[in-house]
Amino acid sequence: MKSIGIYPGTFDPIHEGHVAFANAAIAQCGLDEVYFVPEHKPRGKTNVRDLQERVAIIRETLNQTSDLNIITLASKRFTVHETLPGIESRFGPANFTLLVGSDVAMTLAKWPNCDRMLKKWSLAVGIRHDDKPEDIDAVLEGIERAHRFKIRRAFIRTAKASVSSSQLRNVTK
């Protein structure tokens, strides 16, 4: 059975930190491939480039790699209720891993139906900047206690963890 990473986000722009995290997740989590999933309408983000422009840039960035790919959603953003069934039916039987940055991991307890996903999917968390795995563990342990299951997780730190899209957007203005 294939092991597939799903990496939702804004990717405005995609950068070497995103790619380094995806490649590290492949190595550390034993994934066969990672799919970047740019959201049409990302949560809490304004002035985001048009989806088609972001998709084109992601495709160009990933065109040299066979294990990093892109898919787009029918829904406006990644949600457990709307997105999971489509992804699972698209790929058929597979072991899925959700890739998120530590900033997003800190909000997982607020995601509607997060338990439904985290019972079946593994989690790979890219540790950003000065974020601490123990802070993320505390959030995940709260989910585990509330829903009585263990979340399979990996914490990944890369040399590119300090690169951010907002930083890059500010440089190009």
What is the per-residue pLDDT for 173? 46
Looking at the structure of the chain, the number of domains it has is: 1
Question: How does pLDDT run along the chain (173 residues), one tens digit per residue?
Answer: 999 999 999 999 999 999 999 999 999 999 999 999 999 888 777 888 999 999 999 999 999 888 999 999 888 889 999 999 999 999 999 999 999 999 999 999 999 999 999 999 999 999 988 899 999 999 999 999 999 999 999 999 998 776 665 555 455 54
What's the confidence (pLDDT) of residue 111? 94
- Could you tell me which of 1, 24, 161, 167 has the C-alpha nearest to residue 99? 24
CB contact at 8 A, 158 and 17? yes
The CATH number of residue 73's host domain is 3.40.50.620
CA dist 30 and 24 (Å) reads 10
Residue 79 domain boundaries? 2-172
169 token code pair: 């957007």
Answer for the pair 120, 93: CB distance below 8 angstroms, yes or no. no
pLDDT recorded at residue 47: 84
**Which residue carries 């406006």 as its tokens?**
76
Q: φ, ψ for residue 140 (rounded to 5)?
A: -65, -40
